[in-house]
Structures are given as structure tokens and as C-alpha cells.
Amino acid sequence: FFRYSNRMDTVKEDPKPMAEKETTTINVQDVNGGEEGKEQDKEQEPPLPSFSSLFRCADCVDKVLITVGFISMFCLGAAMPAFSYVFANLIDDLAGPPELVASNINRLSITMIVFGLSAWALAAVGVVCFSVSGQRQVAVMKRQFFRSILRQEVAMFDLTKAGDLSNRMNSDVNIIALALGSKLANLIQGLATFLLSYIFAFWQSWRLTLCLLGAVPFIAICGAVTGKLLADVTTTAQNEYAHAGGIAQEVLSSIRTVQAFSGMGRECERYAESVGRVQKFGLKKSLYMGLSIGMTYMVMFASYALAFWYGSYLIEWGYQSGGKIVGVFFAVLIGAFQLGIVGPIFSTIAEAQGAARKVFEILDRVPAMNTDIHGGGKRLDSLECRIEFNDVAFTYPSRTDVPIFDKLNLSILPGQTVALVGPSGSGKSSIVSLLMRFYDVGSGSITVDGVPITELDLHWWRSQVGIVTQEPTLFSATVFENIQCAHPEATRADVIKACKDALIHDVISKLPNGYDTHVGEGGSQLSGGQKQRVAIARAIIKNPKMLLLDEATSALDRHSEILVQKALENVMKGRTVITIAHRLVTIQKADTICFIQPRDAAADPSSPEFFSRLLESGTHDELMMKKGEYSLMVQAQHQSASTEPSLPEEKDVEEEETVILHDPLAARKKSVQGRKASVDKKEGSKDEEQNIKKGGAMMRTMKLNASEWPLLLFGLLGAAIAGTSYPLYSIIFAEVIGVFFKPIDVMRDEVGLWCLMFVALGVGNMISLLMKLFCLNYAGEILTGRLRTMLFHKLVHMDIGFFDKPGNESGALCARLSADTTNIQHIWGGSLGTNAQGLVCLLGGLVIAFIVSWKLTLVTAATIPVMIISSFVQNKFMWTAIEEGSKELDAAGQVAAESISGCRTVFAFNLQDSQVARYDTFLNGPLQQALKKAVIGGFFFGLSQFVIFGSFALSYWYGGQLVSQGEMGMSEVLKCSLAVLMGAMGVGEVYSMAGDQVEGYAASTRVYTILDTEPAIDSNSTKGSVVEKCTGLLKYEDLMFNYPSRPDVPILKHLDLDISPGQRVAILGQTGCGKSTLISLLMRYYDPLSGRVLADNEALSEMNVQKWRQHLGIVSQEPILFDTTVAANIKYGKPDATESEVHEAAKKAQIHDLIMSLPDGYETNVGAKGSQLSGGQKQRVAIARCIIRQPTILLLDEATSALDNVSEKEVQTALDAIIASEKLTVLTVAHRLSTIKNCNMIIFMEDGKILEKGTHDELYALKGEYRRRYDQYYDIKSS
């Protein structure tokens, strides 16, 4: 057990240099699942982990618990073999004087009570020890797995879907958990009983036992072969489930994009196809399980027949008495019964080994670069930040045939501000990635103060660098936690100061909970500009020596940008700064401006033009005098570099930052309404859950599996037949006992018949178990796939407000998809057969007992209510424990999912330990509940053991009374007691699964609650009117709106706006004033609190939402691309688009030439969320996706913010042509005023209202806020 027992809570320093370590690599297709690369998978498949390696996370406490548990369960396993010795002596005593029968039985009954009390104590201790140890090990394994993921290099994440890794944490580790807890306790008990039963049998009669042992090699071979097959098929099935989990994670985290392009149906088909592939593996798994256990029973019963036949000769030859023969058989019977119980546990272990194969592979993977906190690299005493790129060559590991740099040389002096400019995709962000050491160079070197960056301690180096990216990643936590994570020792005062420097303090202060306001998944509860300023504050509080700004202010309006830029200038003093910006006015004061020329894929590979290269560098004035590429780029933006911007008063910030200003009356009213709705909904949800708990779950599950009724019917029939085997065995066994005490000639005549009966029973048992396990487990696999598909279908059609609520983040929902749907099988599938088999076994035993003696049976059956009541109490306690831990498990899943998807932010700010600590915090709650569950389960499992012994003792005691009174003979007592014993053992088998079944009911409650939730806006509904041809006439009528997750924060206040067909409307205003909210309402992500949004004079709420969205095309500020090809991403806007249409859309978006330069052209994979493309390239692909849709209404939410000015001008020209030719109605949100100057109507918003409205000329002449912003943007001094 303890072969691999090193706990990996902390990463220990390895004395070997990283270069000397053997690096383990993971086959990407193997991690991701899917059909591609299966042959390579087979060749590179790691060996199946040994059973002992499952305990690699056990520490000293766990070892003690396992040892105590092992001793307890081993002693418990010895109870029944010890009783068989007493029973054997009793049989011989029965042949003595009748007057001694009653006293002998009384002695046996007292012995059974003692055994029962001992069994209760031993079982309770054993189950508690193994359950507690198992839960502790699983918690450590999850923590290790998470830590191991976060210590990998970025390149691994480029090659692996984030959802796959998250799914393995939720699904694969849970499968391993099943083999480490109470099931292991049951396994040890069963094996101990089996082993000790045979030892006792050897002691009683070695000749007969050798005959019985002839079956063991056949059983062992059968178990080994099917176990290997089962482990292999489980590994493959889990790969497919991981692939499905990756799809779910990708889709649910990008739900706005999916719904905007009506991709729900396509994603459901993609998910269902992936889940469907698992079913063929489920078919094999069910077949292997059925064959394994069925053949085991057949061989055992056949060996009984042979042994009975041989035993009759041993009696005839005088080697053994009848009592000894019966004792041997009784011992073997008990051992065989226990072997039958532990048979499925061997299958569980085989599945755990299959799941562990991939988990351990990731746990043991050594990253390509040393990411350990104590990695042993150099830490400079005095860091000046003199950076040198020396002949650097670089290619992304995920795209080795697309070189980025070759012999790049760049010098950055200490304290210097260096700006990187150039067209999108030229490699600017690649330089930042190399400096953060997300990747290592292919050749050449990067030095810091003369020391190669690869020799520096990676953790230390990243702690010296602050970074703000174009698409900042925020975590599902509070504002304070998102900022403080960059500097854990920072106080609240430090956080507030950083926020003031980033000009976000006033916004945060007015949020409902201030700095303790939850920002939602990915910062979804903040606007784009607010997110970026929080990210800036996060970089500021780090107090770095070097600051990397990759389009750090791209999401800000010009006014905020000027103020933030001014704040950044103060922060940048004395620091080395590298900034990337497309808005060139922000970098004119840089000490050095470097223009990076993008690679020309059509050039000769040996020429410099084939690689991105530094074309020119110098100050702004120097480059303008050169009149080169930089000068052309500046001229394209029509900027005047000679004047200073007119900065407004600082107080303007407070006046304009109005996203969260309260209308007191409205706020109070909404607060009351919100609370009332919340209470009503909570009460309704509670009632709904109670209904499900009260039996609805079983009925609903049955209905869902109804189409597989032939499988269920045959499976239940097989379970019923299998349930009769042990009651029938008790009859045959009792008859054989009588035969052994008959005269030799009579015994010789009758024993052959009963031996044939055993053979027939064995064949029937094999067929029935094969029917049960194959049919019901396969039906359960189908049910699991169906539930996953149904739940996924429901989730993708939920309204956006559902995903804004805490607890409904994509990571938490994916955990429910993978874990809860699987746990429902604990009340269905194979568990249904086990319940049916146990019930038939009990009823069969009672019927036989009633036929023999109704009096004795009624007395013995008095123990049944005890089991029922204890089962009810146990379920109630365990249900509470499971429910209390489930929410925190969802939260832990969310932490893992967002950390994996936002790995660059985690690495950049050295958040590995803090994220693991957050994850661990959420694991502690479920762990405590699991310990509570273990104690409850142990107590009641021990009680079930006592009831088995107690029912036997009661049966024999009262039977003895009836014998002494002459009402029945001893053979009838034996028949009756054996029948009751078989029935009690059948119930015990069901009882051992009680904990799993309670977990299944809890999981079903959560799943069915979601399935029963009616979305506020049902994108799957066929109801509502259909506008076949939309003119583009739009109207916002007296709108009042706040986000459902923040009912006390008004966003829009009595807003009115009319938009004519074909009109181009631009929306301006301070970051967070509600500009994007207007687009969200038009997309009908939400409905207004009051007022209406109309299209062609019809309210959107009356329209079919899917049909309405087909008239819309949207490009958002942070475009989401899917982990598939470029062509597939563009076709997402129009699934039936032809290749020529895809190419045409790409050309209009100015991305065609770049795509064609890629090795696989349009079939190139863009990576998770487009990670393999630059920000500008992603945005142009998103624009092409929108263009190909041929919408009537075009929604552009900062659609060109990530583009350089040349590309922006080209794309804007293309958009203008499309808009004019198609006569589109356009709503555009933009901070770059150059893109909206020619709009028919420009709206300036403030405080959720329209402050100014008109054309550019009208608003400029008005000399209001618009003119002030326009002058700031073009650096014109106001007159």
C-alpha cells in the first residue's frame, strides 16, 4: 500500500539540475481524446499503474488509518469463518442425544451475539478508517494534480484543451477515489473471509479443500484477463469523456458568443457526438464485467458439485464425519459469497487504474522549464533590467512550421521606456511572452543584466515584472482578492492606493459591497474598461522593476486613457517599461520606439523577410524624420504630435464614472423586489428539491431510461434469477446435510442428484449475472450519456443571467456535468440490479423460511425493521453531509477551471501557490463533510453486520426452543436459518452501497433542479413571432435596467432612443456607463426591468429569440474563438457557408493573406480561445465570422480596438463598404473616435442616460462632452 507514499503538498527541491532530469511528455491527442492519433496513443500509452501506486498520496496519518482499518476489516473477515467452526461442531452435536440439542443451540446463539457485537465495532472502525483515509488521499491527489498542472510550461497549455484537464480533476480522480475508501474496506473484509474460510476448510479437511481449490486458478485467470480488458477500456472511455468535458468547458465559458451566433444546436451535436462515442466502450465494459463475475460463480458452483460428490466418498471411507464435511462447505460457502461481493470491487479497482494512468502521467510530468518556487536559479542582488535580445530565433511549440523571429537583436536600457509598434501579428506580444519566459528561445539568447534569462530563478524573475495584457484575466473572486493576489502581503490601504493610481477606486467604492464585490467569472460583472483598470491596479501593487503593457489601455475611452496614462507615467518612473500600443499618441514620449515588421510567408525562407524583424527604431521625432513605416502609420492616424492634450479637472472622473451611481428611490424599490424574487425563487427551488428527494428522482430516472426497456427488463430478470440462487443454495445445502447423515447406500444414490443441482445452479447463475451486469450497466452507460447531453443542452439554452449568478460559473457547471451525471448511476444501472437481486434474495429466503416454519420466520424477521429504520436514519444524515459539501466542490472546480484557462495570468503573477491555496480552501469543507459521512457510514455498516449475526442468533435460539418443544426437527431449523442467513447477506450487500446511493440521490437532485429551471429567456423556445425580413428599425423605449446579479445597481434610467433603418449609430461615454448594455439588450441576453426594446415596431420580448438573433451580427471587445480551425471559426457565423464565402469574408476582414501564410491555411487550429493568434488577428477573424453572417443589424463593441491603425483603417473601409452596400443598421461602441466620425448619429451617455445626441458636426458645434473628448483624442487644445 505504501510503495508510493510521498505526499506532494509542497514541491521539494530536486538536487539534479533541470537539464539532467528526464522529461515526460504527454501525447496531445491522448490527453484531449477524440479519434485522431489513436495509433500513436497505443504506441505511447503509459503502463497501467499498479494497485499499490493508487496510494501514492498517503501520508503517515493515512498509513496509520489504513493499518488500523486493515486490521479491523481483516478481523471482521475472520468472524464468519470462526463461526463456521462452531457451526461444524454443532452439526456433529445434533447427532447426539436430543436433550442436548437445545443447550447446544443456546450456546451457539450466545456465540453469534458476541460475534455480532465484535463485528459491529470492527466494521465501524474499519470503514471509518478507510473512508477518512480515502477522502484525505483524494483531497491531496486533487491538490497535487492541480499543483502539477500549474507547474507546467505554457507550451503544454497551448497543446492541451483546458476543459480536458479540468474534467480529469473532476472525473478521473473521483473514479480513483472509489477504490480508496469504504470499497477497499469491503474488499479486505471479503478477501479475509475468503482466505480464512479456506484456511479453516484446510484445517477441517485438506483433501476436500484441495478439491475445492481447483476452481481458484480458473477464477484468477478469468479475473486477470477481464480486469486488464476493463482497465484498458476505462482508460479509453475516460479519454473520450475528457474530450467531451473540454467541449463543455469551452462552450459554457463562451456562452455569449455561442448564443449570439445561434450555435447552441451545433454545440449540442458536437457534445452529443463525443459522449456517444463513449457508449461503445460502455458496451464492452459491461460485457467484461458480466463475463468476469458470471464465470466466477459458475466455476465456484461447479467446484461445489465436485466437492460434494467427493465428500460423500470421504464419509464412506471414514476420513471425515458429516459435520466436518458440512463445516468445510459452510466455510467455503461464506468465502464464495464474499468473493461474489468483492467481484465488482475488483472492477472498480481496474477502472481506477485505468483512470490513474492519465492522472499519474500528468502528476509525474516534468515541465520543460524549471517552474519550481525554489528552482535553484540565480537571483540578482541588484536588478537594473538591462535587457538584450541576441540573435533570437523563436517559433511557437504548437506551430513549429511558422517561424516568428530569426536573429532578432534588441537592446533595452535600465529605466528606459520602449514602445513596440507594428501591424497585428508582427510578433510584438511574442517579445513580451519571451520576456515573461512563457517560452524559451529556439536559438540565440535573452540576457538580463548580462545573465541569460534561462539561468535566472523563474519565480523570482516573474516577481520583478508586472504585466497588463490586452485581454486581462480576472478570477471569480472579489475585487480586493483579484488585486491583492499579485502582492499577498499588501494591506487594504495598499490595494486602495493602487486602485487610485489606476483611476478605478471611485468605481469600486460605489459597488454594492465595495472592494468585497464579486466580479463574476472572468470579471463578467465589470465592463471592459473597468476590468482593464483593475488589471492595471494589480500590476501596480506588485511594485515591479519592469512593467510590460500589452495594449493596457485599449479598452478605455480616450478621456480615461489620458488619465490612466498620466497615472502610469508616474508609476513608470525609475522602471524599465515595454509597451505595445496601436494608438500611437500613447507612446510618443517613449525613449525608444521599435517598429516590428511582420513576416512575409511568401518570401524565400532563407531571406530576412520570411521572419518578423525589427525594421526601424528611435524616438518618435527620429522615426518621423526617417519617413519610414512608422511615419506612415502615424500619418494614417491623422495625429498632430506637436501639441499637448488638454487634460480635464480630476473631479471630472467622479462626475463621469457613473455606472454605479444610485437612484435612491429606484434602488430601494429594486432591492425590495430583488429580495422578494430571490426569496420566492429560493422557496420554490427548495420545494422542488424536496419533491425530487421524496421519490421523484427514481421515477424520472426510470422514464429517462425507458427507451432501453428491453435491457432493463432482461437485466432485472437476470438480477431476480441471480437473487434466487442463494435461497436455492440454502435448500440444496440443507438437503445435502441430511444426505450426509443417511446410510451409505442411500447417500450414494442421492448425492449425484444434488451435485447436478449445483451444476445447474452454477450455469443459471452465470447466465443471470451476465444478463444483469451487461444489460443494466449498459443501460446505465446510455443513461449517463443521455443525462450529460440533456444537461448540456439545457445549460447552453439558459439565459445569460443564469451564468452571472455565483455558483453557476462554467467550471462549477462542468463539474456537475461530469460528476453528478455519473453519480446518478448509483441509483440506477448496476445498482438497480444489485437492489433487485438483494430484494429477491431476501424475499426468497423468507418464503422458504415461511414454508419450513412460519413461527420461526416471524421471529427472525423482527430484525428487518431495525435495518430499514437504520437505513432511513443513515440516508438522512448522509444526504445533509453531501448537500453541504457540494457547493464548495463546485467552487473548487471553478477555481481549477479558471486557473487553467487563465494560466498566463497565474504564471505572470506567480499565483500558483495562492490558487492552490484557494482550491484547497474549497476542498476543506467537502473533506469535513466527507469525514462526517464516513463516521455515519461506518456506524451503520457495523450495525448491518450485527443484524446479520443477530438474525442468525435469534433464529437458532428460537429454533432451539421449538425443537425442545417437539414442534420441529433440527433439519427444519437448519433450512430455515440458512434461508434467513442467505436473505440477510443479500440485504447486507445492498446495504454496503447505501452511501453511494445517497450520493446518487443528491446528484440527481442537483441535475434535475437545473433541468427543471425555466430560463428567463429561452433560446430553445419555438414560441414568439418570426420576423422574416428585418428592416433595421430599432427603438429603445423608456428603458430601466439593472443586471440580475446586482439588483441594487441601476444601469439604464428611462432611456429612449430611435434608430432608423440603415442608420449608423455610435455610442460613446465613460467606461462602464452602459454602452455595452444597450447591445446586450438588443441581443436579448437580458430583458429590461421596464420599458421595451422594439424592432420594426414589435417588442423583442414577443419575438422568437433564435430567429431574431439571426438578423444580428456582433463583434465584441474581447472576441472568443473556439479551439478549432480558422475556417470553422469563420463558418460559425454561417454553418452552411461555402469555401469561397469563407475566403471572401476573410478578405473583407483583411485576414485572408495572413491565413494563407499559415502552414495549413484555413485548416490551421487557432488554439483555446484563439491563443495561437495575436489580439488583432483574433479580432479580424471575429469580424470575418460576423461578415459571413450577412446580418441586417451590425453590432460592433470595440470591434477594432486590437488592430493597428493601418489594419483598422483597412478593416473600417471594408466594413464601411459592406454597410453601405447592404444598407445595414449599425450600432457601434468605440473609444477610437476615428471609427465613428462619419456615423449618422453619435450618442454620448452618462449615468445610464443619453446626455448628447447628433451628428459629429452638430455635437462638435455644441461644445459639450463630445467635443471635449474629440479634442482629447486628436490632441487639439480646446478654444
Task: Determine the 3-state secondary structure of 473 from DSSP.
Answer: coil
Angle, vertex CA 685, rays to CA 681 and CA 689, nearest 5: 175
The answer to whether the Cα torsion of 1168, 1172, 1176, 1180 is positive or negative is negative
Give the pLDDT score at 389. Answer: 93
pLDDT given at position 1130:
92
Cell triple for 517: 464585490
* Most confident by average pLDDT, 22-26, 284-288, 501-505, 996-1000: 501-505
Q: Which three cell numbers mark 425?
A: 501579428
Q: What is the pLDDT of residue 219?
A: 72
Tens-place pLDDT, residues 327-348: 777 777 677 667 666 767 777 7
From 25-39, 815-829, 1024-1038, 1173-1187, the region with the lowest mean pLDDT: 25-39
Lowest-confidence pick of 463-467, 633-637, 722-726: 633-637
Q: How far is CA 1112 from CA 247, 770, 1132, 1195, 1242, in A?
A: 25, 56, 14, 7, 20
Q: What pLDDT is attached to residue 568?
A: 74
**Does position 687 have pLDDT exceeding 60, yes or no?**
no
* pLDDT reported for residue 559: 66
Least confident window among 14-23, 339-348, 724-733: 14-23
Mean pLDDT of 36-57: 64
Confidence of residue 102 (pLDDT cuts 50, 70, 90): low
pLDDT of residue 1142: 92
Is 29's pLDDT higher than 60? no
pLDDT at 434 (0 to 100):
92
What per-residue confidence (pLDDT) applies to 31?
Answer: 38
DSSP 935-973: HHHHHHHHHHHHHHHHHHHHHHHHHHHHHHTTSS-HHHH
- Answer yes or no: is pLDDT of 1248 > 70: yes
Task: Tell me, rounded to whole angstroms, the distance of Cα 682 from its chain centroid.
Answer: 26
Q: pLDDT value at position 393?
A: 92
- Which pLDDT band holds residue 628 (cuts at 50, 70, 90)? confident
Cα distances (angstroms) measured from residue 993 to each of 288, 452, 838, 882, 937: 21, 59, 11, 15, 10
pLDDT of the residue at 15: 36
- DSSP letters, 790-836, are HHHHHHHTS-HHHHHSTT-SHHHHHHIIIIIHHHGGGGSTHHHHHHH
Q: What's the CA angle centered on 289, arms 287 and 294, to 5 degrees? A: 95
pLDDT band at 961 (very low <50, low <70, confident <90, very high): confident
How confident is the model over 503-515, as pLDDT tens digits? Answer: 888 888 888 788 9
* pLDDT bracket for residue 593 (50, 70, 90): very high
d(CA 1104, CA 839): 51
Mean pLDDT for the stretch of residues 742-766: 84
pTM confidence score:
0.64
Confidence of residue 877 (pLDDT cuts 50, 70, 90): low
Give Cβ neighbours of residue 1201 (< 8 Å, ≥ 6 apart). Answer: 551, 554, 555, 1117, 1179, 1230, 1231, 1232
Q: Within the chain, how many helices (H) and strands (E) appear?
A: 46, 20
Rounded mean pLDDT of 1218-1240?
Answer: 79
- Please check the confidence at residue 558 and state whether its pLDDT lies above 60: yes
**Amino acid identity, residue 787?**
L
pLDDT at 446 over 90: yes
Amino acid 448: pLDDT: 92
Predicted pLDDT at 27: 41
Percent of the chain with pLDDT over 70: 82
Which residue matches cell numbers 519565480?
459
Checking if the pLDDT of 1003 tops 50, the result is yes
- Cell output for 73: 476489516
Q: Does residue 885 carry a pLDDT above 60?
A: no
On average, the pLDDT of the chain sits at 78
User: CA 913, CA 462: separation in Å to the nearest integer?
Assistant: 14
What pLDDT does residue 101 have? 64
Return the pLDDT at 974.
74
pLDDT value, residue 645: 38
Per-residue model confidence (pLDDT) at position 520 = 79
Please say whether the beta carbons of 262 and 1106 come within 8 A: yes
Q: Give the three cell numbers for residue 862.
A: 423482527
Higher-scoring residue by pLDDT: 891, 1227: 1227
pLDDT tens sequence across 915-947: 888 888 887 777 777 777 778 777 877 887 787
With a cut of 90, say whether residue 447 has pLDDT above it: yes
Other beta carbons within 10 Å of 56: 22
Q: What is the largest CA-CA distance in the chain?
A: 128
Predicted local distance difference test score (pLDDT) of residue 1202? 60
Q: How far apart are CA 454 and CA 308, in angstroms?
A: 75
Give pLDDT tens digits for 1163-1196.
888 877 777 787 778 888 888 998 898 888 989 8
CB 158 within 8 A of CB 1167: yes
Please state at what angle helix 994-1012 crosses helix 664-691, rounded to 10 degrees: 140
Answer with the residue of higher pLDDT: 748 or 678: 748
3-state secondary structure labels for all residues of 1134-1163: CCCCCHHHHHHHHHHCCCHHHHHHCCCHHH
- For residues 198 and 336, is the Cβ–Cβ distance under 8 A? no
